[in-house]
Amino acid sequence: MEIEIMMTGIGGQGVQLIAQTLARAATLEDRDVMLLGTYGGTMRGGNTDSTMVIADQPVSSPPMLSKIGVALAMHHEFWGNLEMRLRPGAVVILNDSVFVGDVTDKDVIVHRIPATKLANDLKLPMGAAMVFLGAYAKLSGIVSLESLIAAMTASLPSYRTQHIESNTKALTAGYESVEANLSPAWAEKAA
């Protein structure tokens, strides 16, 4: 089984970091992963997307996807590119604190997570992406919280290790903010 995930947002929101964190967490849980990050022409404020395929077997799809099974949108600014690629039944996670508008495709499952608000409530204004990722992990069961924390720690460069504690707090808050497996990533194993 392969899960196609695309994340979008505005440069500086942490989309590339959460993509790398999710990819590393999946490999810690013995999944195969392909990841591709793309950036707009500006360092902050431009578009930033990340596409990944996570599988429980060798990956056969390249991370250049024409159809997406899971879309995570930190902001509405560059949403149109993802929305037109949603497959029927896709799971869409929106950062409800800043995402303006609705998803026009009615054949998708939408979860709205107030990630920016939750991060601000924790006094972690830079932690919205980690809150968002923690919530997605719990909603889908795609990876465990423990794997996310280990992967985030490994993903931070040495000059950013001071953020491990706050990122752990943000991941945990997001994880605890939603119910488990509302949109399961992995099919149940036959007993």
**Radius of gyration over alpha carbons of the chain, in Å?**
15
Question: What class has domain 2-176?
Answer: alpha beta
Q: What is the rounded average pLDDT for all residues in the chain? A: 88
pLDDT value at residue 191: 36
Which range among 57-66, 126-135, 143-152, 155-164 shows the weakest confidence by mean pLDDT?
A: 57-66
Average pLDDT (121-147) is: 94
Largest Cα–Cα distance of the chain, in whole Å? 50
Strand pairing report for 86-95 and 109-113:
parallel
**How many of the other CB atoms lie within 10 Å of CB of 55?**
17
Q: What's the sign of the alpha-carbon dihedral 178, 86, 89, 151?
A: negative
pLDDT in tens, 73-89: 998 888 888 888 899 99
Q: Given this model, what pLDDT does residue 177 score?
A: 94
Q: Looking at residue 190, what is its pLDDT?
A: 35
CA proximity to 51, closest of 83, 16, 2, 27: 16
Instruction: Count other C-beta atoms under 10 Å from residue 18's C-beta.
Output: 29
Question: pLDDT tens digits for 16-63?
Answer: 999 999 999 999 999 999 988 877 666 566 778 888 999 988 887 666
Q: What is the pTM of this model?
A: 0.89
